Structure formats: C-alpha cells, structure tokens
Amino acid sequence: MAGRTTIVDCGGARIRAHGRHLATVVTIQGEIDATNVEQVAQYLRRFLLGGGPVVLDLSEVRRFTGAGMSLLLTFDDDCSAAGAEWTLVVGPAVTELLNDARAEDAFPTARSVHEALRNLADAIVSRRQLVLPLIKKTA
C-alpha cells in the first residue's frame, strides 16, 4: 500500500524507514541501551545494502546510553565499508551523551531531517560542479 509506514520494535526502540529522493530516512524513537543495541544495529545494516545515503534520525530518542555511542561508532564504520554517506539528526538525549563523551564532531550531524536532506542536496550540486569541468575537458 502506498503511504503505509511499517514500524519495527527492537526491544523498546521503534524504528521506521522512509525512502526519500535523496536518502533513506531512518527514524528511531524510544530507548537505545545495552538491552537492545545489537538488535537495533542489526536492523540498521539493512539500509546500507544499496550504498545510498542514510539519514539516521534520533531526535525522538528519549534514552540514549553509552551503548548508543557504540551503535553510532559501529554504524559509522558500516557506512564507510558500504561506501554510504550518512547524517545523524540529534535530539536532547543524544546531544547530551555526545557532549559528555566530547564527541560532538565525531559524526556528520544535522538539527533536523530537513537540514540533513538539504545538506545532501548541496553536496550533490557541489560534486557536479567539480566534475563538470573535467567532463568538458575530455569531450
């Protein structure tokens, strides 16, 4: 059915994904902690199979423990291995842990999904502008 969104529960973390023109937006609500981090990580890996950009929206996560930091590090590594660009949308719980770990700049972040998608679009335009002169030279 068009427009239907499936929500998957991973032990208290509710995950939904939406394919957008520029990226797959994966939104997680609820809690990410030691009891569900492996299940969440395993589910997230499926969105890297195509190698396209992913926006990981954690703005509605209300509890984010040190296990969540491990999740982000693993996801970052998985994205690198898959050649997938990604952006993290942060919320208060995630921001607090990143600040406590002094890791504010460890991941590509945005304040909203809209900002993340705009940044991806801007990056595409920039890459095209860099490549276009090279194509013209070889033609």
Pick 112 or 137 by higher pLDDT: 112
Rounded Cα gap, residues 2 and 94, in angstroms: 32
Q: For position 51, what pLDDT does the model report?
A: 84
For residue 112, report the phi and psi dihedrals to the nearest 5 degrees.
Answer: -155, 165
| pLDDT of 2 strictly over 80 | no
The answer, yes or no, to whether residue 1 has pLDDT greater than 60, is no
pLDDT of 23 over the 60 cut: yes
CATH class, domain 7-136, is alpha beta
pLDDT in tens, 81-112: 999 999 999 999 999 999 988 887 889 999 99
Q: Where are the alpha helices (DSSP H) in the chain?
A: 37-45, 66-82, 92-100, 113-138
3-state SS class at 139:
coil
pLDDT category, 54, cuts 50, 70, 90? very high
Percent of the chain scored above 70 by pLDDT?
A: 90
* CA atoms in the 13 A half-sphere facing the CB of 61: 30
Write down the mean pLDDT value for the chain. 89
For residues 124 and 63, is the Cβ–Cβ distance under 8 A? no
Backbone angles phi, psi at 97, to 5 degrees: -70, -40
The two most distant CA atoms of the chain are separated, in Å, by 57
